[in-house]
Amino acid sequence: MSVERNQAAAFSQSYSYDEPISMLTNRPVMRPAHWAVAFAGIIVPILSAAFLIAALSGPLFVSFPTATLVVMPAVFGLNVANLLGFVWASRGHRGPERLRNFLSIGAVFSGICLSVVVVLASMFSMLGG
């Protein structure tokens, strides 16, 4: 009896926020807002990488100075914000664990996109562009 009481106390301490609990897994359920945040966390680096590739692929979309002065800082800022959002959610144990897992996938994509932007910016600065 005391083991069940200890498990219940440990569970109530780990999930202190007001979330609906799944009867099957005994864990918090992801609400539609959680799914929207998870989708945004994954789609931000994918779309920013697509805009970066489109801006640098040729003069059809934007000019080269616009790509380096507008698109690259915007991509950098969006991905830094995505990484900070992941750090905020994971360090504070905000939301269900599944949400933090999706945000970690987005953080990896954002890290890749940030490294590409930094490498391209250093390459352009060395070339004098």
The reported pLDDT for the residue numbered 68 is 78
pLDDT digits (tens, 9 = 90+) for 31-50: 888 888 889 999 999 999 99
21-33 tens-digit pLDDT: 766 666 777 788 8
Find out whether 53 and 61 touch, Cβ atoms under 8 Å: no
pLDDT confidence of 114, banded at 50, 70, 90? very high
pLDDT digits (tens, 9 = 90+) for 83-100: 998 999 888 888 888 888
Contact 117, 52 (CB under 8 A): yes
User: Could you state, in order of their start, the residue ranges of all structural domains in the chain?
Assistant: 1-29, 31-127
Burial class from Cβ neighbours inside 10 Å (0-12, 13-18, 19+) for residue 109 reads buried
pTM, entire model: 0.71
pLDDT at position 2: 57
Determine the angle formed by the axes of helices 72-91 and 32-57, rounding to 10 degrees.
150
